[in-house]
Structure 1
Amino acid sequence: MIGRLTGTLLEKNPPQILIDCHGVGYEVDVPMSTFYNLPQAGAQVVLHTHMIVREDAHLLFGFGSLEERATFRQLIKISGVGARTALSILSGMSVADLAQAVTLQEAGRLVKVPGIGKKTAERLLLELKGKLGAELGHAAGHAAPDANSDILHALIALGYSDKEALAALKTLPAGVGVSEGIKLALKALAKG
């Protein structure tokens, strides 16, 4: 398997790029999030890759970060989600946004991605639950990651919108417990 490529970026034709690695040109499909961060043609580039071998093709997908590649690999494990759909999801939303949508079970955010219907979005949320949600703790950054989800769900169950709940979560001190976190978040929401 090809796990990483380091070489000279020769061509950029979204979503595909061509990388010269010591005289061998690799055609690599990348999500738009990676594509936008690529240097100009002629510059050195490093991509983490995932290779898919099929009967009719050998496909190489490249990612700017290990986090993106890991998420891509989680996505293609889901029944009905192929590599093109996974690439489309990563092009339409960041890994942090996807993790947040999964944690909050927001199918509406996934449906906005071209090619994702309501049923596929619901299947994605179900299959990814618990696999990507831990990243919300790092994205929100303050309370303990396992407490974040519980606090968010509690606030949403109390009738607050996802946006309000996330805003309140960001005001919490580091390492706060669930019950204390809920109390502090409710105080913050009452002031706002």
Structure 2
Amino acid sequence: MIGKLKGVVDSIGDDFVLIDVNGVCYEAHCSSRTLQSLPQNGEVTTLFIEMIVREDMIRLYGFASEAEKSWFKLLMSVQGVGARVALGILSTLSASDVSSAIALQDKAMIGRAPGVGPKLAQRIVSELKGKVPALGAVDPGVVGLQTALGEGLASGNVADAVSALVNLGYAQSNASGAVARVVAKEGEDTPTEKLIRLGLRELSS
């Protein structure tokens, strides 16, 4: 099995990259985020690889980080999520954003990805509730939110506050981290408006 590739970028396609490893080119299918993070042709890069072997094919999937690879595997454990849909989610959301969406049970956020309808989005957040890659690479804001709320299931006011901060232009991971710190100080029953106000104060400090 291939777990990691280190080589020279030969060429980049719409959804894949060719990595030249000592004269042998490996084709790895990637999320758009990973493709955008790659260096120019002729430069050295490293990809974490998930190798899928079936009767009619062997395919490599490449990731810029172990966190992204781990989320790919977790997403594919959900019925109805294949490699294409999992890559679509990771193209739309960063690994930390996926962590936030699962922690907040935010099916709308997962539903932004191509090929993910409302029912599938609900299944993803429900089945992956409480599951995060065992890497220590999960965003600290998400970990703080999960700790503050006990089980990682955000109440409506907390989810609304995080959503409001995201709509104001803050990254999901930063917004959830700020709200987590407020909840830890003020309690889970803090009104949404106050969470937003204090969350903004946290983000500006």
Q: Normalising TM by the smaller chain, what interval? A: 0.7 to 0.9
Name the counterpart of 1:182: 187
TM-score calculated relative to the size of structure 1: 0.81
Moved over 2 A (4+): 132-137, 148-154, 156-169, 183-192
Cα distance 1:6–1:15, how it changes in 2: closer, same or farther (>3 A)? same
Structure number with greater Rg is 1
Cα distance 1:77–1:148, how it changes in 2: closer, same or farther (>3 A)? same
Distance 1:183 1:105 in 2: 16
Equivalent pair of 1:3/1:48 in contact (CA under 8 Å): yes
The within-5 A match list for 1:145-164 is 145-147=146-148, 153-154=154-155, 156-157=156-157, 160-164=160-164
Q: Does residue 2 in structure 1 map to residue 16 in structure 2?
A: no
SS at match of 2:37: coil
Equivalent pair of 1:103/1:136 in contact (CA under 8 Å): no
Distance 1:90 1:159 in 2: 21
Percent of pairs with identical residues = 33
Cα distance 1:150–1:190, how it changes in 2: closer, same or farther (>3 A)? farther
Cα distance 1:151–1:108, how it changes in 2: closer, same or farther (>3 A)? closer
Distance 1:84 1:151 in 2: 27
Amino acid in the other structure paired with 2:116: I
Distance 1:151 1:56 in 2: 40
Q: Deviations over 1:36-94 (max 9, x none)?
A: 11000010010000000011110000000010001111111111111111111101111
Equivalent pair of 2:19/2:26 in contact (CA under 8 Å): yes
Cα distance 1:92–1:190, how it changes in 2: closer, same or farther (>3 A)? closer
Name the counterpart of 1:93: 93
TM-score calculated relative to the size of structure 2: 0.77
RMSD between aligned residues = 3.3
Structure 2's unaligned 5+ residue stretches are 166-173, 201-205
Cα distance 1:98–1:171, how it changes in 2: closer, same or farther (>3 A)? closer
How far is the alpha carbon of 1:162 from its aligned partner? Answer: 3.4
Cα distance 1:83–1:20, how it changes in 2: closer, same or farther (>3 A)? same
Distance 2:68 2:159 in 1: 33
Distance 1:129 1:159 in 2: 15
